[in-house]
Structure 1
Amino acid sequence: MASLSMEGVILAVILGTLAGIVYSLRILVLVERRIARIDMNIERMTGRVLKEEQRIESEERKIERNLRSRKSRKTSRKKRR
């Protein structure tokens, strides 16, 4: 077996460190992509909830208008008597 000189050991440590950095960056990129996909899904869900909320509020306004008009008809009938 060949023994490594001090320069060989230093070179091996540097290469190992660089390999670790590259691997860590790769993992970081994968995690960032996953987070971006999650963010896009959250935005889509938020948009759907907003549309549903607007639809519900619109229906609520229609119902309130109908109730007001019925109430005003009843009060006008009572005044006629």
Structure 2
Amino acid sequence: MAGLDLSQVILAVIIGTLAAIVYSLRVLIMLERRVASMESNIQKMTNKILAHEMGRMKAPKKSRKR
């Protein structure tokens, strides 16, 4: 086995390309999960702030005594 045939080189390039595509898809899925987690946390914080502000609006205003 002194060298590779042209067909073996082409096959190696195709397999390498497919491996790179699979790896990049894996990274993309991991990033999407991370963004979804951040989005969920932002939604939770927004709901807490909204509940707090709505509670402040419903609370009766204190009257000042003179």
Structure 2 partner of 1:13: 13
| Structure 1 CA distance for aligned equivalents of residues 44 and 32 of structure 2 | 18
Structure 1 partner of 2:2: 2
After TM superposition, the runs of 4+ consecutive aligned structure 1 residues lying more than 6 A away are none
- For residues 1-81 of structure 1, the aligned pairs below 5 Å read 2-59=2-59, 62-63=60-61, 66=63
| Structure 1 CA distance for aligned equivalents of residues 2 and 50 of structure 2 | 69
List gaps (5 residues or longer) in structure 1. 71-81
SS at match of 2:61: helix
SS at match of 2:4: coil
RMSD (CA atoms): 1.6
| Structure 1 CA distance for aligned equivalents of residues 18 and 4 of structure 2 | 19
- Identical pairs, percent: 46
List gaps (5 residues or longer) in structure 2. none
CA offsets 1:54-81 (integer angstroms, 9 cap, x no match): 111122xx117x46xx8xxxxxxxxxxx
CA shift at 1:12, angstroms?
0.5
Query: Could you tell me the TM-score, scaled by structure 2's length?
Result: 0.87
